[in-house]
Amino acid sequence: MEYILTHLPQTLVVLGLIFLVIEVLVLGFSTFVLLFVGVGTIITGLLMALGFLPETLVNALLATAVISSLVALVSWKPMKRMQNSVEAHQVENGMVGETFTLEEDLQLGKTVSHRYSGIDWKVRSKQALIAGTEVKIVNMQVGVLTVEAV
């Protein structure tokens, strides 16, 4: 304990870095608490190392709490917005663009079953298609292939 108090600024910086590593690698930015505390701890350690704060445990705890709170207040909304932003895009896969022949009539608004790659898929289309029509897969979702005539 005496070693930690003797080297308090360095200990705070190392502890802050450990908090940041845990937040990023283990928690994957799912909570921002360790991020804010880690940044506050690093800044407190740097302020003590530069001589702006006396090197006492009470000052370290108070400064870390205040700085962490300020960092949280300033960056909470941008960080939350960043965490909630989701990009919606269609994932390309090998099935889109593949063709096959319909084995039964496909009516508008209905689905038929088609075995493809060992899986029974529901097949739908935006137009009515008759059996024997060559179709191309234009979209796929879980268990459903959307096709159009070639």
Q: Which structural domains are found in the chain, ordered by start?
A: 2-84 (no CATH), 99-149 (2.40.50.140)
Give the Cα-Cα-Cα angle 121, 132, 105 (nearest 5 degrees). 60
Q: For residue range 94-143, what is the model confidence (pLDDT) as tens digits?
A: 788 899 999 999 998 899 999 877 889 999 999 999 999 999 999 888 88
Q: For residue range 65-85, what is the model confidence (pLDDT) as tens digits?
A: 999 999 999 998 887 887 787
> Which residue stretches of 50-90 are H helix?
57-84
Q: For residue range 5-52, what is the model confidence (pLDDT) as tens digits?
A: 899 999 999 999 999 999 999 988 778 899 999 999 999 999 999 999
